[in-house]
Each structure stands twice: as structure tokens, then as C-alpha cells.
Amino acid sequence: MAADLGLLLVCLLGIGFFCQWLAWRVKLPAILFLLLAGILLGPVGHVVAPDQLLGPLLFPVVSLAVAVILFEGSLTLRFSELPGIGGVVRGLVTYGAVVAVLLLALAAHYLAGLSWEVSLLFGALTCVTGPTVIAPMLRTVRPNARIANTLRWEGIVIDPLGALFAVLVYEAIVTREQGHTIGVFLLVIGCGTAIGLAAAWLLAALLRRHMIPEYLQNYGALVTVLLAFSLSNAITHESGLLAVTVMGIALGNMRDVHIDDILDFKENLTTLLVSVLFILLAARLDWPLPDGVLWSGIAIFLAAQLVVRPLTVAIASAGSSLSWRERALIAWVAPRGIVAAAVSALFALRLDDLQLPGAEALVPLVFILIVGTVVLQSATARPLARWLKVAEPDPNGVLIYGSDEVARAVARALVDAGFRVIVADEQWEGIRQARMEGLTTFYGHPASAHAERHLDLTGIGRLLAMSTHRERNTLACVHYRQDFGRERVYRLQNDLPQEGSERDQLVRRFLVPRLFAADMTHQRFIQLLAQGWRIKSTRLTATFDWPHFIEQYGSDTVLLFGVEERGALRMASAKRELEPRPGWTVTTLVRAETTAQPG
């Protein structure tokens, strides 16, 4: 029996991985495939029965997993970012969120017949738009920067706030249903807040004083989160979720506390937990659904899509500088995600004991809304953006991985040519220098889970892997060729692989075009710059074309990139030799003694 249970759990992990991989391949939110897998394994195929599989462990496992998910989400909330992300986003995550909660509660009460308590909980759970579903949708839709930033920041900020709303509503339900006074409700809030703040302070103090070695920091953070959750619940019933949410918000806003590694670890752990948890929760759904739930769910979905979201955006964006076209697309895009699914299932398990009318319909209604918003908006948002004329044109921006002298020199040349450039690297000294030079930067690996959440790729359509780390260059290329296409991902060789060697075969397997020239390496580029070679941009004409340029500046001139008359960027690579034409602006690496010559 134990062997069978172990095999089944491993299979669930494998299925979760496959769903996440498939979502990455087709550029759709993973939640769709996880839901489908859970339904096929549970109510359709009867392969997985979570209540029998885990028995009394189901509730603790779901509770602890949701605690980690909420902590990870709340870590991303930065109070310092709120003033700078625009009045529309502030409106969407404050009074707009309250309006959405109330309108969704009205829809659930009158369309599905839920009690007011369950309806308010439904509204709190479904007012969120998480970054795990927004990010892949924005890559496909490619709206303009103002729309993309608004939706991205709304998803980041409202995710933990929506969970906090749900926790507060649930605590109010519990205290009322169990005959408790308002004093007990305030005690729940006070206990959760106090323990969350204390846990954040304790962990921050240990990290500041370097009392936890680096290799144990992630372990220690996880233990602290789960301990705060369990201790808060033990002292005051049902205050644990509030405690971990407050802990994440407090820790994320403390100064001089390095939490990047902890955040990366929690994101990876959350991906694993979400994959297994969502399959298990979907497998618990009853099929067929209870009478009337399907049609009620569809009615609520239509109300949320066509009434609640447009009205919320209209209220939140009143008086803003957004055009009506931009507001229309923002009003259409609001996919629900993992937090709504996971927290709703957890609360449904707990509400079973209270025997509230309509509690059994909470999870199916949330899942119907999730599927409806993700499917409809994934299929229609890109055509709508084009029709509204708010979609970005062909993305010509460049993501450069690497921040040393070579990468920064190429980045400055691209910026001078009029292109948006982001310099990304894990090396702080190079990123610091790039910022001092006025370049847009991202501190971290561009293929990390942290970048998936925080790296704004609006208008970016190419990758130049130019770091000093060969393996990390390869990782970035493999990751971004799925998003940008094989012909828009390039790498600068770190050294020349020997013909027929194992590394040469690996390079050929990945088929990543080599930047600039077949014999150009990172080290050679540095040597040329050290010898006084300089980057030069020149506009070619009918009387001074490319052959004349080579004649004047020498046959050893290195062509870096060219810009066509219509503004299209053409990178030079060993795979496809460029033939600059009159009207192009070419950027080259030339000898020092020739840079002063006219041309």
C-alpha cells in the first residue's frame, strides 16, 4: 500500500511537471492544463481520490501548501512601488478591489443563490488577477507599455491583498457562525498580525546578523513560515493564513534584508506545490456538478467579464490619462489564477464543518470562473488589442544578458540607435555600472523564476547572450528562443570550440546564431576595445555605400548590426552575413586610427 501511495504521488509530480512544461511550450497559463489533468484523474477517470489518498492528512497538507503560496505572493508586495505605478493601478488594488468584491458577491448571491457570507467570500477570492496567468497572456497579447505595466502591477499587488481580503472575510464568518463576538474577531486579526510581524522581525534579525548560513537560509525561512502559521492557529483558531500574509508583506518591505534567494526558492517551491495541489483539488470536484451550479457559474462568469470588470476599471481609471482604447483592453483582461483556486478549496474544506448554505458550490463556481476567464481572454485578447490599435508593433527591443564592458558597449550603441535595451545579469558590479551609464537593468538571470515575475519584456523581441558564463548563456538562449523565435536569439562565443569536439556538437545542437563573426569571441572583443578600437555608427548613402566604408575603414572592420531605412534592426551573425545597403545605418567596431576620418 505504501509503495502504491508513493508511486501515485510521484506520478502526480510527473503529471504536474508535464502540465507546466506544456504550458510553457504553448504559451498558455499552466492552470488550464493542471485543471484538465485533475478532472481527468478524478471525477472522470476515478484514478485519484484525494480524500482516500491522503485521508486525515489532506487538510493539513492543503493548509500548509496554501500558507507557503500566500507567503510567497505577499513577499512581492512593495509599498514603495505603489506611488510610482500610476493612479489607475492604485485605484484597481484599493477601492476598485473593494468594488469588485461587492459586485462579485452580489452576482454570487443573486445568480447562484449563495448565502451572503459565502457570497462575500466568493467575491474576495475572485477579485484577484495573479501574475502566474497574466505574464504568459501579456507575452501573447503584447499590448503597449502602459497597458502591460498596469495589468502586470495589478496582478502582483492584488494577489496577496485579495488573499488577505478572503482571510478577513472568512474570519468574520467563523466568528459569527460559532457565536463569537466582535471582540473574538478582532482578537483573530490582532493575533495573526502580531505573530506575522514578530516572525518577520525574527527572521530579518537572524538574516541581518548572518546567524543563518546561506545554505540554510531557505530552509530556515520555510520553517519560520510554517511555524508562524501553526503557532498562530494554535493560539487563535484560523488566524494562521493572516499571519503568513502579514509576515510576507512585512519581510518584503524591510530594508537591508537580502531575500532574493529566499524569494527564488519560494517561487520554485510554489511551482511544485501549485502543480500537485491544483491537480488534487480539481480531482475532488464532483461530476456531474450539483444541480444548477454549471449554469449559475456561467452566468457569474458572464457578469464578471461583461459587467464587474468593466465597471471596476471605469471607476478606477476615472480622470486618468489612459485612452478609452487602453481602458477597454484593461477592462477585458482579468484572468483568475492559482491563489483563487487554492484558497477557495481550503476554505471550502473548513466551511464544511459550519454547514453554511451554498458552501459546497464555492469551489465549482470559482473553478468555472477561472476556466472561463483564462480560455476566453487567451483566445480574444490579442485580436482585440489589434482591433483597438493598442498592440505593440513588431518588438525590436533587445534583452542583453551580461553586464561587463563588452555587453555595456553594445547596449549603449543599440540605445543610441533608438532601441529599447534591458541589460540583465547576476553580477552586481556590472549592473551597478550599467545603471550609472543610464542603461535599463535587471538584476538576476533572465531565465529565472524571479525574472518571469518581475522582468518587463514589453517591446523586447531579441536576446543577445553576452555574459562571461558559457553555460548560463546557453540556458538563456534555450529559454528565450521559445518566446522570441530561433532567429532572434544570439550568443557571443566565449571561446572557439574545436571542430568536432563535444562542445562544438552541443553548440550545433542548440543552433544558436553566433554574434558578429565566426571568429569573434568575448575575449577578442575585450582585446580589441583595450587596443583602442571603438564602436562607430555611420549612415550609408548611394555615394558612400558599404564597399566604400570597408575601403576607408579596413577589411578587418567588425559589423555589429545595421538599421534599415524603416527602422528594422538586423544583427550581424556568422550564420547569415549582412549586406548593408544605402539608407542603412551601420554600427561597427573599427580601429582607433580610423575613427577620426570623415565618413
Mean pLDDT (whole number) for 233-259: 78
Mean pLDDT (whole number) for 203-214: 84
Residue 578 in contact with residue 549, Cβ under 8 Å?
no
> How far lies 456's CA from each of 131, 135, 136, 308, 368, in Å?
12, 9, 12, 28, 30
- Of the listed ranges 202-211, 273-282, 450-459, 473-482, the least confidently predicted one is 450-459
Mean pLDDT (whole number) for 45-66: 78
Per-residue model confidence (pLDDT) at position 102: 92
Using alpha carbons, select from 339, 313, 546, 516 the residue that is nearest to residue 347.
339
pLDDT tier at 107, thresholds 50, 70, 90: very high
Percent of the chain with pLDDT over 90: 8
Mean pLDDT (whole number) for 273-298: 80
pTM of the shown model = 0.65
Residue 273 in contact with residue 69, Cβ under 8 Å?
yes
- Of the listed ranges 86-90, 123-127, 173-177, the least confidently predicted one is 173-177
Bridge partner list, 421 = 398
CATH of the domain at 487: 3.40.50.720
Taking only the tens place, the pLDDT of each residue in 61-97 is 777 877 787 777 677 666 655 554 567 878 887 888 8
Cell numbers given for 219: 530552509
Q: Is the pLDDT of residue 474 over 80?
A: yes
Mean pLDDT (whole number) for 392-406: 82
pLDDT tier at 105, thresholds 50, 70, 90: very high
pLDDT tier at 56, thresholds 50, 70, 90: confident
Decide if 270 is inside a domain.
yes
- Which carries the bigger pLDDT value, residue 409 or residue 85? 409
Per-residue model confidence (pLDDT) at position 84: 47
The residue behind cell 519560494 is: 266
Per-residue model confidence (pLDDT) at position 265: 65
Taking only the tens place, the pLDDT of each residue in 363-388 is 888 888 988 888 888 888 888 988 98
- Name the maximum alpha-carbon separation found in the chain: 91
> Do residues 419 and 384 share a domain?
no
> Do residues 374 and 467 share a domain?
no
Residue 589's contacts (CB-CB under 8 Å, 6 or more residues apart) are 516, 525, 528, 533, 534, 535, 536, 557, 558, 560
Decide if 86 is inside a domain.
yes
Residue 584's contacts (CB-CB under 8 Å, 6 or more residues apart) are 539, 540, 562, 563, 564, 565
Residue 477 in contact with residue 489, Cβ under 8 Å?
yes
Identify the domain boundary among 342, 357, 388.
Answer: 388
Using alpha carbons, select from 386, 312, 376 the residue that is nearest to residue 137.
376
> Do residues 69 and 10 share a domain?
yes
Q: Is the pLDDT of residue 358 over 60?
A: yes
Per-residue model confidence (pLDDT) at position 596: 47
Decide if 599 is inside a domain.
no
Residue 27 in contact with residue 136, Cβ under 8 Å?
yes
Report the run of H or E that residue 558 belongs to, with start and end.
strand 558-563
CATH of the domain at 20: 1.20.1530.20
Decide if 417 is inside a domain.
yes
Taking only the tens place, the pLDDT of each residue in 3-27 is 477 788 888 889 988 988 887 777 6
DSSP assignment of 130-167 equals: -HHHHHHHHHHH-B-HHHHHHHHHHHHHHHHHHHHHHH
Per-residue model confidence (pLDDT) at position 567: 79
Q: Is the pLDDT of residue 180 over 70?
A: no
> Do residues 423 and 374 share a domain?
no
Q: Is the pLDDT of residue 51 over 60?
A: yes
- Tell me which residue range forms the domain holding 403: 397-594
Per-residue model confidence (pLDDT) at position 320: 80
Q: Is the pLDDT of residue 500 over 60?
A: no
> How far lies 502's CA from each of 90, 114, 505, in Å?
54, 64, 5
- Of the listed ranges 272-286, 314-328, 347-361, the least confidently predicted one is 347-361
Mean pLDDT of all residues belonging to the chain: 80
Using alpha carbons, select from 346, 370, 368, 349 the residue that is nearest to residue 360.
349
- Which carries the bigger pLDDT value, residue 282 or residue 102? 102
Taking only the tens place, the pLDDT of each residue in 569-595 is 888 887 777 788 888 888 888 887 655
Residue 409 in contact with residue 534, Cβ under 8 Å?
no
> Do residues 450 and 507 share a domain?
yes
Decide if 479 is inside a domain.
yes
> Do residues 269 and 402 share a domain?
no
Per-residue model confidence (pLDDT) at position 292: 79
> Do residues 194 and 264 share a domain?
yes
How would you class 374 by CB atoms within 10 Å of its CB: exposed for 0-12, middle for 13-18, buried for 19 or more?
buried
Domain tally, the chain: 2
Per-residue model confidence (pLDDT) at position 132: 66
Mean pLDDT (whole number) for 51-67: 77
> Do residues 74 and 163 share a domain?
yes
> Do residues 189 and 284 share a domain?
yes
The dihedral of CA 31, 67, 120, 104: what is its sign? negative
Mean pLDDT (whole number) for 297-308: 93
Residue 552's contacts (CB-CB under 8 Å, 6 or more residues apart) are 594, 597, 599
pLDDT tier at 179, thresholds 50, 70, 90: low
